[in-house]
Amino acid sequence: MHLFKSVALAALVAVPVVAAAQSSKDVLEARHGYMRMLALNMGQLAGMAKGEIEYDEAAAATAGANIEALAQYSAAGLFVPGTANGEVEGSDALPAIWEKPGQFAQEFKAFADAAAGAGEAVKGGQGNIGAVLQKLGGTCKDCHDDFRKPE
């Protein structure tokens, strides 16, 4: 009976370790997916601003609204401990995210604030996109400078 209890206890202890390893990978995949969605929408707006893509008010408004919606997503679920660079393969997140959570939250909030109204602000012509991208891009750069591994 003692052997059974020992094996059962070992199995119970191992389950969270396996689950944590799986969840770190899942979190990283979700984080990468989130960033790809932002990049897709930012890229569409940037293409229009540069004249590489013909300005389309409906498409610009949709991209802006998508960015607004993504900015409301809870960053906490995408940046869990154990998913920093060096802790899980493919992560560019610096440990500073968890060492300075207040600063990280402020920078993510700055992005959300910059994204507010983006869907409406890009309407009315190609010339309106640049100011929106400048605000958004500035917050992205600030956060990446402080919390992302340099490329």
User: Which segments are annotated as binding site for heme c?
Assistant: 140, 143-144
Take residue 85 and report the two structure tokens written for it. 């660079």
Whether the CB-CB separation of 23 and 104 falls below 8 Å is answered with: no
The Cα 31–Cα 97 span in angstroms is 14
Structure letter (DSSP) for residue 56: -
Query: Between the CA atoms of 108, 111, 113 and 117, what dihedral angle is there, to the nearest 10 degrees?
Result: -140
Q: Is 9 exposed, middle or buried (0-12, 13-18, 19+ CB in 10 A)?
A: exposed
109-134 burial, b for 16+ CB within 10 Å, e for fewer?
ebbbebbeebbebbeeebebbeebbe
Q: Which residues are annotated as a binding site?
A: 140, 143-144
Task: Measure the CA angle with vertex 93, ends 92 and 94; round to 5°.
Answer: 110
